[in-house]
């Protein structure tokens, strides 16, 4: 029987900082599965030689980025582009001796990353609040499905709001230079 060379995995990450997702992708690489693409909520992997690879995610949102120049900066710094999805860019590099490789090594770039995440999350939060409002205002046509959607959207709003508070607290810690505020210390 021929060995599988690709696989698709359904996975949802609720950690908006991306740290759990990065660890999960790095673990897949140690098993010989390398990120190839990310259709929404699915991860496509290609089989390769297992190795100690580190994945990092940069969130660009809908900003107008010169993709070729942007990817070139990461390549020049030793990072390989793996995939992109919904404003998130995935990079990997071989883990060497010494400290864990990071794409954001200074306070200002870490704060900028988290501010981009906050901006994107706030947009989604506003959209969900509008959806909740429209469901509430359309009470004459309420059925079991609209009630279910109301509960799900409300839960998502609470989750997003909680994550926004966490990210804003992280930005504050980074600015004050407190311990635990670097990405490497959080991993």
39-86 pLDDT, tens per residue?
877 999 999 999 999 999 998 876 667 888 889 989 998 899 999 988
SS3 88: strand
Residues 137 and 161: their CA atoms lie apart, in Å, by: 22
Q: State pTM to two decimals.
A: 0.73
Q: What is the pLDDT at residue 96?
A: 79
Q: What is the pLDDT at residue 185?
A: 46
SS3 175: helix
Question: Mean pLDDT in runs of 10 for the chain (187 residues)?
Answer: 88 80 96 93 94 92 76 91 90 82 83 85 84 77 78 85 87 78 47
Torsion angle defined by CA atoms of residues 89, 94, 99 and 104, in that order, rounded to the nearest 10 degrees: -20
Q: What is the pLDDT at residue 63?
A: 65
Strands (E) located in 6-157 = 6-10, 33-37, 42-47, 53-59, 80-85, 88-94
């Amino acid at each position: 029987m021929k060995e599988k060379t690709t696989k698709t995995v359904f996975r949802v990450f609720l950690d908006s900082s991306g740290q759990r997702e990065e660890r999960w992708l790095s673990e897949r690489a140690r098993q010989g599965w390398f990120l190839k693409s990310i259709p929404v909520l699915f991860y496509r992997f290609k089989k390769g030689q297992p190795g100690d690879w580190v994945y990092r995610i940069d969130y660009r949102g809908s900003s107008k980025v010169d993709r070729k120049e942007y990817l070139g900066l990461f390549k020049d710094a030793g990072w390989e582009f793996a995939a992109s999805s919904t404003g998130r860019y995935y990079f990997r590099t071989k883990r060497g001796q010494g400290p864990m490789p990071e794409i954001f090594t200074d306070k200002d770039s870490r704060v900028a990353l988290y501010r981009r995440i906050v901006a994107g999350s706030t947009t989604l939060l506003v959209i969900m609040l509008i959806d909740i409002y429209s469901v509430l205002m359309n009470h004459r046509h309420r059925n079991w499905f609209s009630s279910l959607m109301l509960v799900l959207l409300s839960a998502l709003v609470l989750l997003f709001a909680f994550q926004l508070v966490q990210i804003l607290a992280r930005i504050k810690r980074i600015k004050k230079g407190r311990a635990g505020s670097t990405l490497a210390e959080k991993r």
